[in-house]
Structure 1
Amino acid sequence: MTARRWTRPRIALALSVALLITLDLSVKAWAAQALAGGGTVGLHVIDLRLVFNSGMAFGLGDILPAWVILALTGLVTAGLAVLIWRTANSATLPVRIGLAAVLSGASANLLDRAADGAVTDYLHTGWFPTFNLADVFITTGAAALVMALWRSTEPPGATESGLRE
């Protein structure tokens, strides 16, 4: 029964995820409006260029129907949300931060895709596929998780008794 309670770590994660989703969707809305003319804005290291990605990561699967991609990404995002909910109380702060970042990015891209079947991308390097802030959240969150779990001495999700929840 205690696994269903709203505890401080779960509340903090939920608020963090909501904040990051709002930030990403706001920047996507701005990019869709400001970059609608089709041009590129150079910012030295990175350019702003509007692209709508109907596929998954790196445009893979762009020939699949939109509902298939939406269903697949929805299932993965829901599974991640369940994992985070179940491990929030026992995970270390770095793990919670990494999980919140990954869930935020996945959720923001899922919500963006649900609106019109494509994800709004606007960060362009010239040598890498165009991406967005949610993709940055996913990548940095995954890197934080790898580093946090690599440095941990106890397996993720382990309790004091050595059993998993």
Structure 2
Amino acid sequence: MNNPRPRHPLVRRLLLGTMVLVIAGGDLLIKSTVVQGLGEGKILDYGVINIRLAYNPGVAFSLGASLPPGVVATVTAALVAVLAVILFRAAPGLSRTSCAGAALLLGGALGNLVDRMDGAGVVDYLHTGWFPTFNLADIFVVSGAALLALGSLRKTGPTGEEDSLEVPR
């Protein structure tokens, strides 16, 4: 009776799956819009950040760019699948913060995975001049990993609500 909102495993997993699909779909829609609106070489300058179209055939920081696209896609798909299994199994026990982090992490990873399936590489479009060009899915992956880690440090109170940060001893 202390926990008015039980964490039914199926409900938590369906919620996580829905959030992942919405995040990945939004990312792919934005990438499609950038590809349609910007040709190679066209730049939209917004001061600190520019929008310019680039393709990354590798993974983070173009690692593996010299490998065949099929190898990069297969390895990426395997890693995303393993991560998805782990996070979907853990979903019922995750805090809201960790669940949001898991959704961002998987949504960004899935968006980049689907984007890379055409063999051209992942569409990148955010450029700062001092950092490699990246995309919104990359931001989702990094912020999702941070939220997942932060959520694992959160203390859960008797109602199941997140109370405060507690560093494990």
Q: Normalising by the residue count of structure 1, what TM-score does the alignment of the two structures yield?
A: 0.85
What amino acid does structure 2 have at the position aligned with 1:80?
L
Q: State the alpha-carbon separation in 1 of the partners of residues 60 and 32 from structure 2.
A: 20
Cα RMSD over matched residues?
1.6
- In the TM superposition, what whole-angstrom CA distance separates every residue of 1:44-102 from its partner, at most 9, and x where no partner exists? 22100100000110111101111111111001100011011111111111111111110
Equivalent residue for 2:35, pick from 21, 32, 36: 32
Q: In the aligned structure 2, how far is the partner of 1:37 from the partner of 1:62?
A: 19
Matched, 1:140 2:143: yes
Give the conservation status (yes or no) of the 8 Å contact 2:43–2:51: yes
Q: Are 2:96 and 2:151, in contact at CA under 8 Å, matched by a contact in 1?
A: no
Q: % of aligned pairs identical?
A: 41
Structure 2 gaps of 5+ residues are: 1-7, 157-169
Q: Work out the CA distance in 2 between the residues paired with 1:116 and 1:60.
A: 16
Contact 2:111 2:137 in 1 (8 A): yes
User: Which consecutive segments of 4 or more residues in structure 1 shift more than 6 A?
Assistant: none
Taking structure 2 as the reference length, the TM-score comes to 0.83
Q: Is the 8 A contact 1:77 1:103 kept in 2?
A: yes
Q: For 2:24 and 2:41, how far apart are their aligned partners in 1?
A: 25
Which segments of 5 or more consecutive residues in structure 1 lack a partner in the other structure? 154-165
Paired amino acid for 2:90 = T
Superimposed CA distance per residue, residues 5-37 of structure 1 (whole angstroms, 9 cap, x where no aligned partner): 972111111111111111000000011111114
How many correspondences in the alignment?
A: 149
The reply on whether 1:63 has 2:63 as its aligned counterpart is no
